[in-house]
Chain A
């Protein structure tokens, strides 16, 4: 398994501002992902964070709104830009170490409320 931490654990933000969420893993991992869990809903994949190159975004998510960085194999950030109340969600980082076993481990999440 992997130990994953996220910062901040929660935040309350004003409309129009941006928030950067950090994800730190205790060991090098091959794959890192960002998910969103809207209130009462399931998890939706936002993007795959690629080390050393641009993130790969899922349909409905764009880089201008959710810029992602991954400078190394243990760290990634997700920024939620120009926030609106519809962005209120839990944002989760997940990691996968071994492509063969394709197991993912999830961070504790960042609970974001936009007023």
Chain B
């Protein structure tokens, strides 16, 4: 079956530091890949997505590239802000036309001034 492995947190960074949160996956077929974010006290929000190999998803300064050869979808941001403090979830769907999501365990990011 499908699975997602994320780097364990929590991760604590200083403001303006570079962020990488690793995500690797196991899947059959051609899954779509997502990063979701959960800010403190708020619901889960879609941050970015990629639907095929070599696609790059980007939003709010975050980027992730769908790497089929390494089965990875690492999340990066060049300069984090305090407002980026949240829990980040990597997820995938089972393939084209599928909605059912498989989530990683989540990585808690804390950014300190």
Chain A residues near B (Cβ < 8 Å): 31, 33, 35, 41-45, 48, 58, 92, 94, 96, 99-100, 102-109
Closest to A1 in B: B46
Interface, chain B (partner A; CB < 8 A): 32, 36, 42-46, 49, 51, 89, 93, 96-106
- Taking CB atoms, residues of chain A closer than 8 Å to B102 are 45
Task: Give the secondary structure class of A's interface.
Answer: strand
Number of A-B contacts (CB under 8 A): 51
Structural contact, A99 and B99, CB atoms closer than 8 A: yes
Q: A102 contacts B99, CB within 8 Å?
A: yes
Q: In the assembled complex, which residues on chain B have CB atoms less than 8 Å from the CB atom of A108?
A: 42-43
Instruction: Contact check, B49 vs A104: say whether CB atoms are below 8 A apart.
Output: no
A45 B105 Cβ-Cβ under 8 A: no
State whether B46 touches A102 (Cβ < 8 A): no
